[in-house]
Chains A and B, each alone.
Chain A
Amino acid sequence: MTKILDSLKLTILAGVVLTVVVILVAHAISGA
């Protein structure tokens, strides 16, 4: 994890991946 956080580019990439995960989870649990 610290290897990712030591790199600004990897931190941003991790943020984008996390965004995709949040979108999928939010749609799944909202019951829409």
Chain B
Amino acid sequence: MTELVTAEWWSFFFRWLHIIAGVMWIGHLWYFNFTQAPTMPKIPAELKPAIGKYILPEALFWFRWGAMATIVTGLIEAGFLKLYPSVIWLGIGAGTPRITFISFGMWLGLIMWANVWFIIWPNQKKNMGLVEVTPEQKAKAARIAGLTSRVNTMLSIPMLYCMASVHQYM
């Protein structure tokens, strides 16, 4: 039981939380891009409101808070792993690719988190009618949210490589 209070155990605990939150976040990101968006044009018009009114708000809730939990637990875990401050400047000259790779992963994750909270979510609020806008503004907001979601899908590929590579360069 005493091992529960060691720094190593808490480091593992936050890594575990980080992975759970990350699966929640990226799982929903990929659901939007691999499943929902490509299927929407095939759904009959009378059924589409079920997606927009019921599934989308719920999925966006777990998506954005999954992103928040991933970043918070990741930043805490970086402290346990003693990655500060070199992780901030990409581990340039650190002498090991390990810190540089995890730095790239961290910065890609931070960019993706900012995209979620400062671009995708504000525009989805307009798209879902939580913020009153004109039909033109609603269409524009949906387009911006969709494109930003695609950017995050693209960034998720190198981000996950960098995260997984930590053990490659021990």
Residues of A within 8 A of B (CB): 2, 5-6, 8, 11-12, 14-16, 18-19, 21-23, 25-27, 29-32
The answer to whether A29 and B92 touch (CB under 8 A), given A5-B147, A5-B150, is yes
Contact at B34–A30, with CB atoms within 8 Å?
A: no
CA distance A18 to B38 in the complex (A): 23
Give the B interface residue count (CB, 8 A): 27
Interface of A is mostly: helix
Interface presence of B110 (CB below 8 A): no
B151 at interface by CB-CB < 8 Å:
yes
User: Which of these binds chain A: B9-17, B128-136, B154-162?
Assistant: B154-162
Partner of A15, one of B37, B94, B95, B156: B156
